[in-house]
């Protein structure tokens, strides 16, 4: 396409063009002049973004159905947003992961931070799971898949259509096999000395949360000869890592029976089954019951889902994080460790730490903060976009 054939998206006079020039990648619907022509731009189409004085700022992907109406793709107006462009982004991301990890199990593309806005790709050996969480990526999915196979050599590519992000973009929730054959069983993934079972077709998100790998590694150092409680455990993330670190026992609590079945299989394949126990139930109820029974553990980990996924949910979410801390702190033995995690975009580190400390204080405990963890390096942070650094893990000694 020639530049003259691209539609135009123009900023309002009061929009923060300076932030966009300095790298902020999102333009919200209330920052744009929305006229009939803008509203008629098809979801996923490429447009030229201009400031209010008609100076071009770059090529953007447009979705009139989304609160994030434009996502910056390339500052170069001459860029061709095609398979070759996508392959170059993938190759750059692949070079980083190939340097960091001995085995091909990692997040390959972390959306804006890897230059592919809204796109998440997790790799499980010869299988890759793609979440195209933006309209432009849905539209160019065949090119993304072809470039992915070309750059990495994976033989199977799955599309995951689940998740809140796609619904916010007005996209379907359908999953599909794009290339190859879907695994007929959970895929074993070895991390931190433990084997995790990833359900790539029916599990949460892409099947496994790679983002906690470095935090689980740190937690494992605290677990030698320890009794470990892992709440909101999913497929046994911190519990199995603790057992690999020499824990006496690990109790994993989750509300999902399929996730706990995968945790049990992971424990079996790791050789930990005699020290592992799974318990299905509501996390808050389980924490309350354990407290009422006077049970204590040397290491307690709580890694809940996002209680504050958006700004309107922030205050309610912070109260939930405080409640988790208040219920978990009494379960930690004297001199033991409490690990509290948040994957909420809206709750920044200071707010999450404050809520956690209020809960610990309300439980009558005193805490040392010994470590603050984030997502691993396969989840790079885009410095201009705070949302790309969503994960926080606070390690307390009580």
Residues carrying an active site annotation: 343
How far is Cα 31 from Cα 57, in angstroms, rounded to an integer? 14
Q: For residue 31, which of 60, 9, 56, 54 has the smallest C-alpha distance?
A: 9
Element at 204 (helix H, strand E): none
Nearest residue to 380 (alpha-carbon basis) of 99, 157, 88 = 99
Question: Please, are residues 233 and 253 in contact by the beta-carbon 8 Å criterion?
Answer: yes
Query: Which class for 337: exposed (0-12), middle (13-18), buried (19 or more C-beta within 10 A)?
Result: buried
List, in order, residues 6 or more apart from 170 with CB less than 8 Å away.
43, 63, 65, 66, 135
Cα 311 to Cα 317: distance, rounded to the nearest angstrom? 10
Whether 81 and 115 have beta carbons less than 8 Å apart is answered as no
Cα–Cα distance, 327 to 329 (Å, whole number): 6
Q: Decide: 376 and 192 in contact? Cβ < 8 Å.
A: no
Q: How far is CA 198 from CA 74, 169, 251, 261, 368, in A?
A: 34, 26, 20, 11, 34
- Helices 314-328 and 349-362: crossing angle, nearest 10°? 40
């Amino acid at each position: 396409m020639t530049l003259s054939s691209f539609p135009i998206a123009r900023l309002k006079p009061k929009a923060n063009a300076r932030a966009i020039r300095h790298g902020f990648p999102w333009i919200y619907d209330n920052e744009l002049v929305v006229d009939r022509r803008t509203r008629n731009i098809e979801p996923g189409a490429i447009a030229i973004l201009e400031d209010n004085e008609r100076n071009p700022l770059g090529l953007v992907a447009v979705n009139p159905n989304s609160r994030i109406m434009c996502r910056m793709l390339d500052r170069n107006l001459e860029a061709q947003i095609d398979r070759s462009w996508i392959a170059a982004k993938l190759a750059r991301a692949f070079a980083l992961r190939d340097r960091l990890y001995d085995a091909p199990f990692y997040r390959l593309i972390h959306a804006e931070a890897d230059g592919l806005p809204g796109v998440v790709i997790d790799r499980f050996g010869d299988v890759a799971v793609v979440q195209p969480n933006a309209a432009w990526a849905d539209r160019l999915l065949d090119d993304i898949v072809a470039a992915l196979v070309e750059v990495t050599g994976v033989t199977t590519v799955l599309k995951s259509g689940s998740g809140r992000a796609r619904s916010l973009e007005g996209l379907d929730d359908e999953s599909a096999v794009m290339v190859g054959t879907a695994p007929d069983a959970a895929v074993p993934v070895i991390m931190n000395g433990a084997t995790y079972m990833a359900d790539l077709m029916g599990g949460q998100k892409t099947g496994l949360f790679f983002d906690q790998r470095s935090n689980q590694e740190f937690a494992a150092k605290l677990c030698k000869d320890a009794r470990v409680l892992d709440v909101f455990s999913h497929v046994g993330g911190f519990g199995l890592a603790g057992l690999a670190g020499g824990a006496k026992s690990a109790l994993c609590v989750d509300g999902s029976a399929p996730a706990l079945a995968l945790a049990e299989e992971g424990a079996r394949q790791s050789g930990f089954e005699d020290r592992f126990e799974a318990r299905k139930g509501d996390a808050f109820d389980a924490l309350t019951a354990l407290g009422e029974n006077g049970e204590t553990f040397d290491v307690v980990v709580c890694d809940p889902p996002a209680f504050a996924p958006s700004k309107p949910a922030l205050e309610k979410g912070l109260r939930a994080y405080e409640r988790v801390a208040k219920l978990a702190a009494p379960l930690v033995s004297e001199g033991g460790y409490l690990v509290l995690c948040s994957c909420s975009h809206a709750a920044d580190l200071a707010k999450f730490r404050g809520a956690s400390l209020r809960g610990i204080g309300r439980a009558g405990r005193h805490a040392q903060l010994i470590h603050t963890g984030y997502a691993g390096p396969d989840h790079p942070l885009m410095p201009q976009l705070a949302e790309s650094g969503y994960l926080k893990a606070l390690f307390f000694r009580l």
